[in-house]
Amino acid sequence: MDKFPASRNSANKTGVVDSIIDKLSRAQGVVLIEYRGLTVTEDNALRAKCREAGVEYRVLKNTMIKRACEALGIEGLDAFLEGPTAVAFGYEDPIAAARVMDEFTSSSKKAEIKAGLVGKEVYNVAQVKALAALKSKENVVGRLLGTLNAPIRKFILTLKLASEKDVQEA
């Protein structure tokens, strides 16, 4: 019999790290915020905004995040893992987590963005804010289609006006 059997706590920590590894692997965009001073009401409002945007929001221990980053080979995030940390994982859109967190921290003043992660590249606060300012993919595609349709619409309008003019002259 082992004098010091493996504790359930270490098994739980391994499970937490594995969960974070899975989330980081699947996420297209990740944002870390410091949430110190948020009331329960503000935190619930943030969680609701995250759900609406398809972003998963979790409060995680810095040591667990560090272990997960080490396992994935992500470097440069350790400097931002001080104090209370909440993490927003955007699985569908790399900009969604940045947009929600930027909007919330701009209006809250209690929470602040620490860093971001896209793939294995670490973003500082200014870069996360720049990422949040980008237009959504749907917006960009819509504008492109509108631009492509403009010459065709003008041509059709010209034909219509010409045919109406011919009818009036006849």
Residue 35, domain extent: 9-134
Q: For residue 154, what pLDDT is reported?
A: 75
Same domain, 59 and 94: yes
Residue 141 Cα distances to 94, 148, 168, angstroms = 16, 10, 40
Whether residue 4 lies inside any domain: the answer is no
CATH of the domain at 89: 3.30.70.1730
CA–CA gap between residue 105 and residue 95 (Å, rounded) = 15
Residue 132 has pLDDT above 80, yes or no: yes
Mean pLDDT of 93-104: 90
Measured in degrees and rounded to the nearest 5, phi and psi for residue 31 equal: -130, 135
Same domain, 128 and 139: no
Same domain, 141 and 88: no
Share of the chain above pLDDT 90, in %: 42
Mean pLDDT of 20-41: 91
Residue 4 has pLDDT above 50, yes or no: no
Whether residue 3 lies inside any domain: the answer is no
